[in-house]
A and B are shown apart, each in its own frame.
Chain A
């Protein structure tokens, strides 16, 4: 079934550890996004990529890095996790870049940093 997959589903991580959240889509979408969702704050954009080989910073990029080596994969890395990065992380993709495109979301990764 076409869509977006995220891994892991959930993770408990010690502060200071490095963690990579994986995201893969099989819809050949050009644009991909990472959001974090926190209670009372809604979804906030961390990083985005309009096409393979390019990335950009969203609203809350500090402490996170991304890469887009190919069309399908868009991993999110926390170089040294801190408790404030405890959140639910959603990856999304859209056919094209820009706000006229519908975004398709993955199932999310629940991350707890202790």
Chain B
């Protein structure tokens, strides 16, 4: 079963605008990761935020985590056409005593020139 759920399912913006994607999850987590997937390609890791962190930055990316609301957001500032991709959040899940990642269904971002 899915743990993280991204919102919106699809987002269309103009170059230069900011893009915000949200992820909600159901059970307590130790950390949350965001990944990006270009069409027809494998996923690429963007950023990991631990449960005791509230905000993290990486270049034009800003991730926030609110464990009380069980939600995270990914903000891409000053978007570019090259940011067009699907973005997934992934939360840790304990599976037979081992921790694995459970991915959401993704947000498809389209950045128009």
Interface residues, chain A, with chain B CB atoms under 8 Å away: 4, 33, 35, 40-45, 48, 50, 56-59, 90, 92, 97-100, 102-108
Interface residues, chain B, with chain A CB atoms under 8 Å away: 1-2, 30-31, 33, 35, 40-45, 48, 50, 88, 91-93, 95-96, 98-106
Instruction: Give the residue name and chain of the A residue nearest to B44 (CB).
Output: A105
B contacts with A: majority SS: strand
A102 engages B33 (CB within 8 Å): yes
Beyond A42-B2, A44-B103, A99-B92: 5 further Cβ-contacts under 8 Å? A35-B103, A48-B100, A90-B42, A99-B100, A102-B48
Instruction: Give the residue name and chain of the A residue nearest to B50 (CB).
Output: A100
- Number of residue pairs spanning A and B whose beta carbons lie under 8 angstroms apart: 73
A111 to B57: give the CA distance in the assembly, Å: 37
Q: Distance in Å from the Cβ of B51 to the closest Cβ of chain A?
A: 11
A50 engages B98 (CB within 8 Å): yes
A68 to B1: give the CA distance in the assembly, Å: 26
A32 to B79: give the CA distance in the assembly, Å: 33
A10 to B47: give the CA distance in the assembly, Å: 30
B98 engages A105 (CB within 8 Å): no
